[in-house]
Amino acid sequence: MTQSIAMALHGGAGVLMPGVLTPDDEQAIHAALLQALKAGVDVLEQGGSSLDAVQASVVELEECPWFNAGKGAVFTHKGDHELDAAIMNGANLEAGAVAGVHHVRNPICGARAVLEHSEHVLLAGEGADLFLSEQPDLEHVSNDWYDTPLRRRQWAAQQQQPETVLLEPGGVEKKFGTVGAVALDRQGHVAAATSTGGITNKRYGRVGDSPLIGLGTWADDRSAAISATGHGEFFMRTVVAHNIASRIRLVGSSLADACEQVVQGELKDLGGNGGVVAVTPSGETVLSFNTPGMYRAWRDAEGGLHTAIYAEDDRLHAV
């Protein structure tokens, strides 16, 4: 019997309610989510690995200025961009991550390079930039390549109101735009990938949960692959991704129950806003968030491709 495939991705969770986006913007975001989903699903349908699939989807999201990763990453306090990413293979627990990098066009490809070409898991700052500059297959850009007019406007507003975190793509609200993907391939292996520009106006080399293995990113064939999005400080304190996986592996929880207990329970009780996408080696797929919305997309068991933004939103696109 042929192993089924599964895939899900996210582009940020937060204060997203009908009326926040224009109809044209909504349509553009749905189209971008679908394009990213198809990029990963195509890899899986052709027999490719879950690791290649999540990377393909995240690259598409990094190239889309709607999301806070790669092109369209938020500005730091000093007016540049510091990018974080991680990728993990559930088959062997190999992982690679980068934090605070400045010039690799697709940070998720940088994380994959750390996985494949170094003896380390996480490289940060100038050292990470140096390592990535030595990788012949990576494309590098000037730091201002990540700029967009929207992000510059948000940064200017944030400079006037430093105590807030900005909604994307407008208004001053709590909203976080990390991107990520999880997948199950025909060989029965899961993988996860996550990429982010962090929080607008961040200082002091701040790093969130996204590139930290077990917090914002985790994959293990014995449990599940998980990619998270939200306020990183809370995800770090609740070890969200590994927490979910441990409930499955050690307690025997279903993926749905584990996500409910962590995202709607421990994380929310602490004051953390955000969500996760997750998939098990059996193909169970969950998209869980405790906010009014989450940019998200997934392939169902019958092969239908869905995209959604708001909590009540469920849009099916025919292939």
The reply to whether 178 belongs to the active site is yes
Annotated binding site for substrate: 206-209, 229-232
CA dihedral 19, 28, 51, 6 (to 10 degrees): 70
6-311: CATH topology: Glutamine Phosphoribosylpyrophosphate, subunit 1, domain 1 (3.60.20)
Number of C-alpha atoms within 13 angstroms, CB side, residue 43?
24
Amino acid 162: pLDDT: 56
Alpha helices for 17-106 (secondary structure H): 23-45, 50-62
| 44: three-class secondary structure by DSSP | helix
Exactly one of 2, 76, 164, 178 is catalytic; which is it?
Answer: 178
pTM, two decimals, is 0.93
**In contact, 109 and 117? CB cutoff 8 Å:** no
**In contact, 7 and 187? CB cutoff 8 Å:** no
Q: Which residues pair with 257 in a beta bridge?
A: none
Provide the 10 A C-beta neighbour count for residue 142. 9
Return the closest-CA partner of residue 277 out of 6, 5, 54, 10.
10
**In contact, 194 and 99? CB cutoff 8 Å:** no
| Strands (E) located in 185-302 | 190-196, 217-219, 225-230, 274-279, 285-289, 293-299
What is the β-pairing status of strands 95-101 and 122-124? Answer: parallel
Amino acid 153: pLDDT: 86
Amino acid 163: pLDDT: 56
Residue boundaries of the structural domains of the chain: 6-311
> Letter for the amino acid at 228?
A
Alpha helices for 174-279 (secondary structure H): 232-238, 240-246, 255-261, 268-270
Q: Report how far residue 88's alpha carbon sits from residue 59's, in angstroms, rounded to the nearest whole number.
A: 15
Amino acid 167: pLDDT: 40
Amino acid 171: pLDDT: 44
Instruction: Give, for 284, the enclosing helix (H) or strand (E).
Output: none
Amino acid 264: pLDDT: 96
Helix 125-133 vs helix 107-117: crossing angle, to nearest 10: 80
**In contact, 75 and 151? CB cutoff 8 Å:** yes
Amino acid 195: pLDDT: 98
**In contact, 219 and 89? CB cutoff 8 Å:** yes
State the 10-residue block means of pLDDT for the chain, 319 residues long.
88 80 91 97 98 98 95 93 98 98 98 98 98 97 93 82 49 63 98 95 93 98 97 96 98 97 96 96 96 94 94 62
**In contact, 111 and 99? CB cutoff 8 Å:** no
Annotated binding site: 206-209, 229-232
